[in-house]
A and B are shown apart, each in its own frame.
Chain A
Amino acid sequence: MYRYDEFDAQIVHDRVKQFRGQVARRLSGELKEDEFKPLRLQNGVYLQLHAYMLRVAIPYGQLSPRQLRRLAHVAREYDRGYGHFTTRQNIQFNWVALKDIPDVLETLAEVEMHAIQTSGNCIRNVTSDHFAGATADEVMDPRPWCEIIRQWSTFHPEFAYLPRKFKIAVTAAEHDRAAIRVHDIGLHIRRRGEAVGFEVHVGGGQGRTPHIAAKVHDFVPEAEILDYLEAIMRVYNRFGRRDNKYKARIKILVSETGAEEFKRLVDEEFAAQRPDEKVELPRAEIDRIHAYFAPPPLSGRPARSEVFERAKAADAAFASWAEVNLYPHKQSGHACVTVSLKPVGGIAGDATDTQMETVADLAERFGHGDIRVTHAQNLVMPHVALDDMYEVYRALEAAGLASANESLITDMIVCPGLDYCNLANARSIPVGQAIQREFASVEDQRDIGQLHLNISGCINACGHHHVGHIGVLGVDRKGEEYYQITFGGRADEKAAIGEIAGPALSAEDVPPALKRVVNRYRELRTDPSERFIDVYARTGLEPFKEALYAADQER
């Protein structure tokens, strides 16, 4: 993974010092809250329902064991013993005192971490495929380009006060695990012979007006990608709407301008750049950054591991976990391990300090020191030998981290909701827990197969309900929590926005209603390999809608 050189270290150090000064000016009363707010937001500090929340950047979701241990330390010393991994591959601490945040940032800077631009109307943390560098279906490792984009976007003087926040995602794999089509900019790295370039998608997003991004370029050569991004950003900064924050995201500019005209504006701006306006990115610099992401030295192992097979035969729970939570590695004899943060009845994405330390130790001993955060709020150890898998599993199990549910119905994306969030209209976590309990049986979940269920506590859609195969959106009805259900959303290469089924349901009606929907799916599928989302594509909304509201007809 990337390591800071003296420039990176200095910039992060300067930022800690700067923020320490800003906090001091706030605490002395020199800065009023409305002046301080954008400053704290640009450093990931929110004021939530109960306390300040600090969002720490995990660039493209990559962590070292040392970094994860430091996050555990922060959880223990400055928070209440846990942290919350987010859909942007970051981590949030829910109970940090403002006066302590400069110290937290200083301790994070020691392990090359920061909270820069994790909020605010600027370019946010760049996200990517959590199997990057390990999966066979990518044309190259996308992380070096994520790092280059991270550096370019950090403290960009022109793009710190954009009309609204701005999110970039990068993938290099055919199967899109980074949800690039629902980002402000989604980049898909392509190869044409020896040449590397970027397919560029712009104007995707969720929130109250979800959009699938428009493709604006098939292949921007790698040497020009930062200049092309500058052109997009400048068009957005100049022409994005600022009269209404709900219409300020680039998706609205693209849809109101029209994708064709938007592309013309970007191309015109790009063509007008003078040579000295270009971002000089020396070949040696591209190579330097790529070198940090060299594949780990995985020793050649046979594709079949006898140790692994024996353990599976002896321990059915392990066999089940291995079948669900392992993803094929490009190197034989290895696999990518999903460490589920979705135990039934738990809080999606939460990990305690000791759980973080367990994963850090395992990654160090068995995982080449590589840990990823997924946009589905789980952790991944991307390079584990099958021979070591049972030992890894036993340790995860002991730490409460061995739920066998990756991409199954209980592996939900859930936003913090009204239990924490100042924006929420309804609670998300309790309704998610109730749904999990309805589908708690592992056999039942495996029989249902892949089913992405996403829950948001308000229309801002942090829980990605629009792109859940089943989406649940909390709404407030005269002080009562209700939940609107959508079907058919997906975040992958066939990205789609879910369709709203009909009137919202009360919290207690949601689990049985979804049980009926899932049972209807089981009746409709031609065989168990036909997933919920495949059946939906074949049948459309009607049968699921009917099942969802079937209880009303019985009454």
Chain B
Amino acid sequence: MPLIRNGEEAVNTWLHVETGEAGETPNGITVPLEAFLEKRDTLLARNTPLGVRLEPDDDPCRLAGDLDRLSLIEIAFPRYTDGRGYSTAQLLRRRLGYRGELRAVGHVLRDQLLYMHRSGFDAFETERAQIACVQDALGEFSSFYQPAADGHRHVFARRHT
């Protein structure tokens, strides 16, 4: 599936391994949260990049101690109407200080990209979105009323600087 990272099309070299048993592969892998917590030491001992995929009801705070060892966190959107992933992303970026790649996967559509970006996502796996369309989607607004994970100064503050 096409991958957009930092606003540009990128090659996706990552594999998602549902069981957490990756075998020999040079690629980076992501595993479910439970698998990560269970096989943490084995997984961290691998020589390839490691990430975790969070489902909507996963608590990102359970990764608090391991964030600097993860190169990728995927947040799954089984349906785009399920908005829990936005809170997960904000928690990771703003509360827990995660700095690595944060990728939206699953039902990721053009009209949710800006909210996702504001919530802290910097990468999107999406069937439809073309690069031009992503840029359009991310540029639809230039001012925002509330602070979020994208670092924009919000309007309440901008009015007084």
Contacts and interface: CB of A to CB of B under 8 A. Distances in A.
A155 B115 CA distance: 8
Which residue, of B83, B111, B141, B157, has the highest number of chain A Cβ atoms within 10 A?
B83
Interface stretch (B17-25, B29-37, B45-53, B87-95): B87-95
B154 A274 contact: no
Contact of B111 (A14, A22, A121): A22
B145 interface: yes
B147 A280 contact: yes
Contact of A279 (B81, B154, B159): B154
Interface residues of B, number: 36
B147 A7 contact: no
A157 B81 contact: no
A272 B95 contact: yes
Interface string A13-42: 011011000100000000000010011000
B83 A280 contact: no
A313 interface: no
Contacts of A7: 143, 155, 158-159
A274 B83 contact: no
A14 B87 contact: no
Contacts of B109: 35
Contacts of B42: none
B146 A242 contact: no
A550 interface: no
B87 A284 contact: no
B131 interface: no
Contacts of A399: none
A279 B156 contact: yes
A277 B160 contact: no
A151 to B, nearest CB: 5
Contacts of A18: 140-141
B146 A156 contact: yes
A328 to B, nearest CB: 36
A162 B85 CA distance: 11
A234 interface: yes
B83 A160 contact: yes
B118 interface: yes
Given A10-B143, A155-B141, A237 B84 contact: yes
Contacts of B145: 11, 151-152, 154-156
A11 B142 CA distance: 8
A35 B118 CA distance: 21
B8 interface: no
Contacts, number: 110
What size tier do the contact residues of chain A reach? 35 or more
Contacts of A160: 83, 86, 115
A157 B147 contact: no
A39 B80 CA distance: 12
B114 interface: yes
A345 to B, nearest CB: 42
B140 A158 contact: no
Nearest to B93: A277
A35 B108 CA distance: 11
Contact of B81 (A158, A161, A272): A161
A285 B94 contact: no
Given A121-B81, A161-B80, A281 B156 contact: yes
A273 B118 CA distance: 18
Interface in B127-161: 140-148, 154-160
Contact of A11 (B56, B81, B114, B141): B141
Nearest to B116: A157
A27 to B, nearest CB: 16
Interface string A144-159: 0000000110111111
Nearest to A276: B94
Contact of A14 (B84, B141, B148): B141
A265 B56 CA distance: 18
A285 B160 contact: yes
26 contacts: A7-B143, A7-B155, A8-B155, A11-B141, A14-B141, A18-B141, A121-B81, A157-B114, A158-B83, A158-B148, A159-B86, A160-B83, A160-B86, A161-B82, A161-B86, A162-B83, A237-B84, A279-B147, A279-B154, A279-B156, A282-B156, A282-B159, A284-B159, A285-B156, A285-B157, A288-B159
Interface of B: 56, 80-84, 86-88, 90, 94-95, 109, 111-112, 114-116, 118-119, 140-148, 154-160
Given A10-B142, A161-B112, 12 more contacts: A7-B143, A14-B141, A18-B141, A22-B111, A35-B111, A38-B80, A155-B145, A158-B90, A160-B86, A237-B87, A280-B154, A282-B159
